[in-house]
Every structure is written in structure tokens, then in C-alpha cells.
Amino acid sequence: MSVDKFNILESAFVPLPVENVDTDQIIPARFLKATVREGFGEKLFMDWRYDEDEKEKDDFVLNNKKYSGSILVAGRNFGSGSSREHAAWAIYDYGFKVVVSSFFADIFKNNALNNGLLPVQVSPGFLEDLFMENSKDAGCMLRIDLPEQEITILKNGRKEKFDINHYKKECLLNGYDDIDYLLSMKEKILEFEKKL
């Protein structure tokens, strides 16, 4: 499966100012019974989005019409817990292309990158600014520039650089796939196995 290319994105964002959002919240375990990758978006944040009668909870950001856009901005330590890639699939399938936080859990970060979902780590101060700007104007626009590795609040021009592994950046910019790369290494792998 190749990933979708990513270059520059300008979009409003959905604020989720909660810390330690774990993958059980992103996609509860009871929805992991599928054998395909598709369709997880409708279960994204299921227990925060819906009550037990499957009615939308008004107070949850995804149900609030004033928020829109393909960027999710969340509190620190996003994606902790289970390694389930279904979490990245669900976020992407729902329509987000970028998740911004001041800190990501490792496995989630890898899973996101492997699915064309860009994790953007910003400083705690920048994250606070994002939440504050959004509280003043829910339509507040961001620009995510992958080639420049830069996130900008368009209204006031405040920007910050973000880190991404050079190899993964190339993969996202070009839609490359890790497995194609690994398959191209077959000779070296066979050579390595001889030493075992």
C-alpha cells in the first residue's frame, strides 16, 4: 500500500485540548475486529462522540459544527498506549491529514507516518497559542509546510519549525512506501542471514 503524497496544507483545525489521548479513546478495542483497513473513521473517538444510545454528545469537538478542517490539534502525549494502527487509520479515514501536539507516543508516530498522516510536534507554548487563537476564532487557519518543516498560524504569521526524519519526509513528499524499499534490499538481507 503506497501512502498519499503530502506537501503543503492550509486548513482550519479541530482543537482537542486533552492530554494523554490514548489509542483506546481514538478507537476502542471492540472495533478492532475488522479484517480490512477501511471504515474506521466512523468509529473515531466513539465513546467521546456518542452516548450509549449512539446519540451524538453535544460537548465533544467533533460534534461541534463550528470546528472544521483536516488538522487535529491535541494535548501532550497523543497516541499513547496500544500499538493498534487502527488509531491512525481511524483519524485518517475520518478526514484528518495532520495531527498537531506538543508530544507524541512513539508507536503512534510511526503508524501515522506509515499511513500518510503527518504528526507535527510543536512546543508547549505554541500549542497553547493554537488553543487560544482557536477559542477566539474557531475558523483560525493553519499552514503546514512539509518541505520547509514549518507550521504557521496564518492570521498572525506566528510560525514554528517541526522535526521529521529525513527519510520519512521523502516518503511523504513522494508517496513512497517502506515495503518497496525493504524489498529492494533483498540481496543485503539474504547476505545478512548467511551470518546468522
Partner 1 sequence: MIAKTLFDKIWDSHVVSSIPEGPDVLYIDRHLIHEVTSPQAFTGIENRGLKVFRPEKTIATADHNIPTKDQHLPIKDSLSRLQVEKLTDNCKKHGIDLYGLGHPKNGIVHVIGPELGITQPGMTMVCGDSHTSTHGAFGSIAFGIGTSEVEMVMASQCILQPKPKKMRINIDGTLGKGLSSKDIILYIISKISASGGTGFFIEFAGSTIRALSMEARMTICNMSIEMGARGGLIAPDDTTFNYVKGREFSPKNADWDKAMKVWSKLKTDNDAKFDRELHYKAEDIVPMITYGTNPGMGIKITDKIPLSKSLPEGSRASFEKSLAYMGFEAGSSMIGKKVDYVFLGSCTNGRIEDIRAFAGIVKGKKKAEGITAWIVPGSKLVEKQAKEEGLEKILNDAGFELRQPGCSACLAMNDDKIPEGKYSVSTSNRNFEGRQGPGARTMLASPLTAAAAAITGKISDPSDFIN
> What is the rounded radius of gyration, in angstroms, for the C-alpha atoms of the chain?
18
Output 8 or 34, the one with its CB closest to partner 1: 34
Among 9, 10, 37, 149, binds partner 1 (CB under 8 A): 37
- Residue 145 as a binder of partner 1 (CB under 8 A): the answer is no
For the CB of residue 142, give the shortest distance to partner 1 in the complex, in Å.
21
d(CA 98, CA 7): 11
- Residue 194 as a binder of partner 1 (CB under 8 A): the answer is no
- Residue 107 as a binder of partner 1 (CB under 8 A): the answer is yes
**Cell digits for 195?**
551470518
- Residue 36 as a binder of partner 1 (CB under 8 A): the answer is yes
- Residue 173 as a binder of partner 1 (CB under 8 A): the answer is no
d(CA 150, CA 48): 31
SS (H, E, C) 82-106: CCCCHHHHHHHHHCCCEEEECCECH
Output 35 or 65, the one with its CB closest to partner 1: 35
**Cell digits for 185?**
534490499
d(CA 26, CA 40): 10
Q: Which phi-psi region, left, alpha or beta, contains residue 39 (left: φ > 0; alpha: ψ -120 to 50)?
A: left
Pairing of strands 98-101, 118-121: parallel
For the CB of residue 10, give the shortest distance to partner 1 in the complex, in Å.
28
- Residue 192 as a binder of partner 1 (CB under 8 A): the answer is yes
**Cell digits for 124?**
508547549
Output 70 or 114, the one with its CB closest to partner 1: 114
Among 62, 63, 64, 76, binds partner 1 (CB under 8 A): 76
Q: Which residues bind partner 1 (CB under 8 A)?
A: 1, 17-20, 22, 24-25, 28-30, 32-37, 47, 52, 75-77, 80-86, 88, 103-107, 110-111, 114-115, 124, 128, 165-168, 178-179, 181-183, 185-186, 188-189, 192-193
